[in-house]
Structure 1
Amino acid sequence: MKNTTTIYNTVLTIAGSDSGGCAGIQADIKSISANGGFATTAITAITAQNTLGVNAIYPIPTNEIKNQIVTVLSDINVGAIKIGMLQSSQIIKTVTETLQEYKDIPIVIDPVMVASSGHNLLDNSALDALKLLLPMATLLTPNIPEALILLDIDTISPDNMPKMAKKIGKTYKTSVLLKGGHLENCTSLMDVLYVYDTDSLHNFSKTQIDTKNTHGTGCTLSSAIATHLALGNTLKDAVQKGITYTHQAIVAGKGKELGKGNGPVDHFYKLY
């Protein structure tokens, strides 16, 4: 007879591995754990990377990606799913098809399409496949360069961010958190949440932090939001808590050093 008094609030993250530990699956696990969740994983690719950049990417075979997802979900009660970089059209299609049977689980998609160098990470076929996955999301969390690709436009300004967030949401029939971290010449940054079900907009302002240690912030934020959804928060509250956590983690990691390049945020600042 089971004597279970506490059930883990579990999140499944589907993403690539970062050998440097700053982003990807490693950042997801840290963020989920720091926000009170239990992390399970389906790894889509192994990378050789550090704080200076990515040296190589080794995709996991699609049947093994599916096997990871199904094996976790067939046994463990997952409260939310976070999806990060999927890289190829074949991987995206596999994830899309596999998750069709689990539509009752909230899904947060960080649509990783643009590298920090500015280069596109997805070719046209992969982008087309991704656009078929996006409507399955409970929430999309694009940054400005990714939003430009999704909308096929050239620029987004602080003034029209709410309009653009709503346009993405209407296009892909889902809620959207449009992140303003890539806006230039701004001392105060704004993230805009468009909630599809209520057709409502919410702004979240924060002070820009002068630091190079922002490697993995997108992974960290999307995983934190997924965790708070798994904990039972409303979408708006989950987004607010995820933004607050990520901002404080950036502040805490500002003065720390890892490697010679762009370092991580301090995921476990609350423990000190």
Structure 2
Amino acid sequence: MSVAAAADPAMGITLDKVTKRFPKRGSDEGFVAVDRVDLHIDPGDMVALLGKTGCGKSTIFNMVSGLLEPSEGKVSVAGHDPFHEFDWFRGKVAIVFQNDRLLPWRTALQNVELGLELLGVPHEERRKQAMDWLSRLGLKGHEHDYPHALSGGMRQRVSIARAFATNAGLLLCDEPFSALDEMTANRLREEFSALVRENRKTAVFITHSINEALQIGDRIIVLERPAKIAYDVRLDRATGEAEKEAIRDRIKEVLAL
């Protein structure tokens, strides 16, 4: 069975009164990173999770990805618990990190094939899909280059191709363009957004940049510390520049508090 046939559709996310505490010396309560967050993300949404460093964005990200268990409340993705049902999510969630995390001993093509290989996709099929995604991301002719021969932007394109190649329904993105120059990052944001919409994925995109959130998000959620939702706004293609400027001003007000 092909990955395309086996893949799940875009998946929704729900946080129900979720709190996350970490142990803290001298405190019985511990350090509260996330404080009773209620949040629902519809299948197919592209959400920018925006906030200052240390506001709890990454903690929410790690609970949604199944790497952390909430202290209280419930996290569910497509009706499943990502921490306790971690194996169910194999091939259904893909992560794009801040750094490309390519294996230096594998070519661009072999790096894109990695997720498919781990899922047991036959060689010919995974090679075809990897080649297709490298081509779609503008890397035709670089399939057999090793990471050291690629620019930072090209390496991140390989990382994005690797995420899309598995046809996962949910993409989790941890500031994937923050290490790139602004022109390269801008082009990749536009391409990434188009691919998410074209392929009908759900995407959660962590950022601390207002400009990036406005460019990426169908919905922007601004967090205050400890993580609580301070502002939640939807945008669409009809959202004009004047309205975007008003949203930008409101986000600045929230972040200044």
Which bracket does the TM-score occupy, shorter chain normalised? 0.3 to 0.5
Question: Larger C-alpha radius of gyration, 1 or 2?
Answer: 2
Tell me the TM-score normalized by structure 1.
Answer: 0.32
**TM-score, scaled relative to structure 2:** 0.33
Q: Which has the higher contact order (CA 8 A, sep 6+)?
A: 2
